[in-house]
Structure 1
Amino acid sequence: MELWKDIEPDAFHLLASGGWLEPAQVIDVREQMEWDYYHLDGSLLVPMNTIPGRLDEIPTDKPVYIICAHGVRSTGVCRYLTEKGYSNLHNVNGGMAAVAALRGFQYD
């Protein structure tokens, strides 16, 4: 049993575009060049390989949405954060590619 929840891109898009998420609730675990190409306003870039050294930037008192390009890295980050005691994590299914498509942007 996984200790995080998956969220479909359309549900996440409604939250993100509706102003329901506070800064740092969306953790983008892609690399800087991917972020520079396309990212969500209000999200925090924390590349996957930097997560262990930046745990203090990831909230523990509110829901956190982890996103990457397609959902693979974010799943690994959710697993890691769960092992570190985090809860209330949400993995964005389909990642940035799926969310960008909902916003009319061809990600890849």
Structure 2
Amino acid sequence: MEINRIYPQIFLQEIEKKSLGKSVIIDVREPHEWEYYHMEEAKLIPMQQIPLRMGELPDDEDIYIVCAHGVRSMRVAEYLKENGFDRVINVDGGMAAIAMFRGFQYD
């Protein structure tokens, strides 16, 4: 199964240009990770809660998935794709890469 991916610098450019339209950004990290650093544009749904909260996700819009480094988000993207969400995009490198491009130190 192939999952669409986007490089973090392209992702940030698209956010800045406001060209993502009605798409949603889902952060699948844990609340303590979210509190440390997160994107204001994102919605927090921790990885373990995804199966219970899929009803909150649009099936007719792009869904960008982000985590700390891109591993959990890829697993969530695969899970969503297996469950009928075709417009899922993994953000490569996760918040670590996003923070680097935004000039924020993230460990």
| TM-score higher than 0.5 | yes
Amino acid at match of 1:106: Q
Q: Which runs of 4+ in 1 moved over 4 A?
A: none
TM-score by length of 1: 0.92
- CA RMSD across the alignment: 1.4
Pick which of 14-23 and 59-68 moved more.
14-23
Q: How many residues align?
A: 107
Q: Percent identity?
A: 50
SS of 1:61 mapped into structure 2: coil
In the alignment, the residues of structure 2 paired with residue 63 and residue 95 of structure 1 have an alpha-carbon distance, to the nearest angstrom, of 17
| Structure 1 residues 1-108: aligned runs within 5 Å | 1-2=1-2, 4-21=3-20, 25-108=24-107
Report the TM-score when normalising by structure 2.
0.93
Q: Distance in 1 between matches of 2:84 and 2:40?
A: 27
In structure 1, stretches of 5+ residues that fail to align are none
Task: Please state whether the residue corresponding to 2:69 is helix, strand or coil.
Answer: coil
1:35-78 per-residue CA deviation (whole Å, 9 max, x = no partner) reads 00111012110000000000011111111100000000000001
